[in-house]
Amino acid sequence: MEFPSIKKRLEKVTGGQCSLLRDLTDASTLDAASLQNVLDALVEDRLEMARGMLEAARILARSEHRRVRVSAVSRANYAAYQAARAVVLGVHHRDEGDHEELGKEIDDRKQLPPGRRQDRL
């Protein structure tokens, strides 16, 4: 383990981030592999939510009532939002809940890293 590099990086950690790191490491052993597993599970949870919202949109879109069909657009929009959050979490390893910032993240991302180009919806 290269301590000087770790020290330099930890100097930039905020108090809140340090508390979170301490909580995570005190609760159990946190290593890179377990962290990646948790991130992958979070991404899959977001994608599952997006799938559910997309299915709800499909069901609502088939309704004979106009106002019900209109709400299908809302569900489809929410599905896209959750899928975009999953992409940012999977690629950048951070959550972005702000709609405007999320759009910027997606616009700024020219392409996904190799191995991440999957149609998971």
The pLDDT value recorded for residue 117 is: 45
* Nearest of 64, 61, 56, 59 to residue 82 by alpha carbon: 56
Going 96 to 88 to 84 to 100, the CA torsion angle's sign is positive
Q: Please state, in angstroms and rounded to a whole number, the distance separating the CA atoms of residues 43 and 76.
A: 18
**What is this structure's pTM?**
0.68
The pLDDT value recorded for residue 5 is: 77
Q: Please state, in angstroms and rounded to a whole number, the distance separating the CA atoms of residues 36 and 28.
A: 15
Report angle CA 43, 47, 50 to the nearest 5 degrees.
145
- Tens of pLDDT along the chain (121 residues)? 455 677 777 778 888 888 887 887 776 667 778 778 888 999 999 999 999 999 999 999 999 999 999 999 999 999 999 998 898 888 887 777 666 777 676 666 555 555 544 455 5
Report angle CA 121, 92, 35 to the nearest 5 degrees.
90
